[in-house]
Structure 1
Amino acid sequence: MCRWTPSVAHLHPPEPAPDAAASARQRPPPRPGAASFCLARLALLLAAAGAASGACPPGLGHEPLQVLAGGTNCSWTLERHTRSYNHLEGDVRLRRLYSANKFFLCIDKTGKVEGTRRKNYADSLMEIRSVSVGVVAIKSVSTGLYLAMSKKGTLFGSVKYNPSCKFKERIEENGYNTYASLRWKHGGRQMFVSLNGRGKPRRGHKARRRHPSTHFLPMLPS
């Protein structure tokens, strides 16, 4: 097909030749290479997968991912997961509970709880098992009886494990541990495992957290 071009010069005056700077400004930007295109596409796919599942894309560590798509700046940063303490459950320790009054807690075969000054007394070796976070069950290795506390705050050895055998274990500022009944309280106050100055168990409602009679040091068996 033929295209007609007017021969009259004044109808279409010649345009001035563009200078080098103008040509550079009007020149279209270079097209991205194949490698850049693949990286951008991979970033978009990872961002979409993370937004859909709520999980962290593999291999990104703790660095934020920022993607520019369709003129929108999308930022996505890894979040710290909730810390889990489930590994503490079932933890077992063999210890002798040495009180600040210089007695070892023991449970004899009749279920009697008291203190002894004999360091290697068989009934004083305890199996301390974590049943939940901060909660333990204390069992005499030789007698197989569990340390338990009654509703009135009396300590005794229980043949069967039950809710009265659960104690909240807490490390105090002086490095000793206290053991409070998880199930029972007295007037809203916690009741603690306690040995008086003669090695006799005290009623839980008469013991206080800061009193030396409630403080025990878990010692490794020798």
Structure 2
Amino acid sequence: MCKWMPPTIGPDPTAGTGTTVPPWVPRATSLCLACITLLLAAGSSLGECPPGDPGDAGHEQLHGLVEAANCSWTLERHTRSYNHLEGDVRLRHLYSANKFFLCIDKNGKVDGSRRKNYADSLMEIRSVSVGVVAIKSVSTGLYLAMSKKGTLFGSVKYSPSCKFKERIEENGYNTYASLRWKHGGRQMFVSLNGRGKPRRGHKARRRHPSTHFLPMLPS
């Protein structure tokens, strides 16, 4: 820490008269600016704010200036990220409020089954972003997808049509709406009717039981 002790202004013992500080003596402002410059240079090279004694009042003032000038970039660098929520995988059976388990067979046909232990009904639900999931059949390896017309099918390749917005409804069931496609500005939902057959997305509504699914742990 740079410290400056001001010279005593008083009578010159040789001249016998009062005099000001000689012009070659550095002023306090110049020394403080020089200290700040050195600290800024040191902080830039180390990538962090300079350390110091917290009890030093002078250091606290300088540290505040250095933080404002040199350390503000750390706040800009650490943008909000939700990467820790991505990649979460759950193995579940999606049980509809109509009492059918969602299935995807090897031919890509989406259907409903009454049997919980049916191999095609075990799904891998993976979080791909906040509130968005991809649903994949464990046995067939096909992704649940929705076409532009709202038709459900099993896709070999993962694409934007395989992304669904997962939402927990008030009754505790989940709804899955296509992230990519809408019909007349309205969301299109994954849905199984009273016979276990998939409904077109634009015919399903959020509050209808056919769109409600309960993720159940495999037994």
Relative to the length of structure 2, the TM-score reads 0.67
Which residue number corresponds to residue 18 of structure 1? none
CA distance in structure 2 between the partners assigned to 1:136 and 1:215 by the alignment = 16
Which residue number corresponds to residue 134 of structure 1? 131
CA distance in structure 2 between the partners assigned to 1:57 and 1:211 by the alignment = 61
Which residue number corresponds to residue 60 of structure 2? 67
Give unpaired runs (5+ residues) of structure 1. 4-40, 59-65
What SS does the corresponding residue of 1:67 show, helix, strand or coil? helix
Alignment of 1:1-222 (within 5 A): 67-68=60-61, 83-222=80-219
Query: Which residue type is aligned with residue 205 of structure 1?
Result: H
Cα offset, 1:83, TM superposition:
4.4
Cα offset, 1:220, TM superposition:
0.7
CA distance in structure 2 between the partners assigned to 1:136 and 1:158 by the alignment = 15
Q: Residues 56 and 197 (structure 1 numbering): CA distance in 2 closer, same or farther, change over 3 Å?
A: farther
Cα offset, 1:218, TM superposition:
0.8
Structure with greater strand share of residues: 1
Aligned residue pairs total: 172
Alignment deviations for residues 23-55 of structure 1 (CA, whole Å, 9 cap, x no partner)? xxxxxxxxxxxxxxxxxx9xxx79x959x96x7
Give unpaired runs (5+ residues) of structure 2. 1-12, 14-34, 52-58
Q: Residues 133 and 57 (structure 1 numbering): CA distance in 2 closer, same or farther, change over 3 Å?
A: farther
Alignment deviations for residues 3-32 of structure 1 (CA, whole Å, 9 cap, x no partner)? 9xxxxxxxxxxxxxxxxxxxxxxxxxxxxx
CA distance in structure 1 between the partners assigned to 2:145 and 2:49 by the alignment = 46
Tell me which structure has the larger Cα radius of gyration. Answer: 1
Which residue number corresponds to residue 19 of structure 2? none
Q: Residues 171 and 67 (structure 1 numbering): CA distance in 2 closer, same or farther, change over 3 Å?
A: same
CA distance in structure 2 between the partners assigned to 1:199 and 1:144 by the alignment = 21
Query: Which residue type is aligned with residue 174 of structure 1?
Result: N
Cα offset, 1:82, TM superposition:
5.5
Query: Which residue type is aligned with residue 208 of structure 1?
Result: R
The CA RMSD measured in Å over matched residues stands at: 3.3
Relative to the length of structure 1, the TM-score reads 0.66
Cα offset, 1:84, TM superposition:
2.6
Q: Residues 67 and 137 (structure 1 numbering): CA distance in 2 closer, same or farther, change over 3 Å?
A: same
Query: Which residue type is aligned with residue 199 of structure 1?
Result: G
Alignment deviations for residues 45-92 of structure 1 (CA, whole Å, 9 cap, x no partner)? 79x959x96x7888xxxxxxx9346xxx97x8998x754310121211
CA distance in structure 1 between the partners assigned to 2:170 and 2:206 by the alignment = 11
Cα offset, 1:161, TM superposition:
1.3
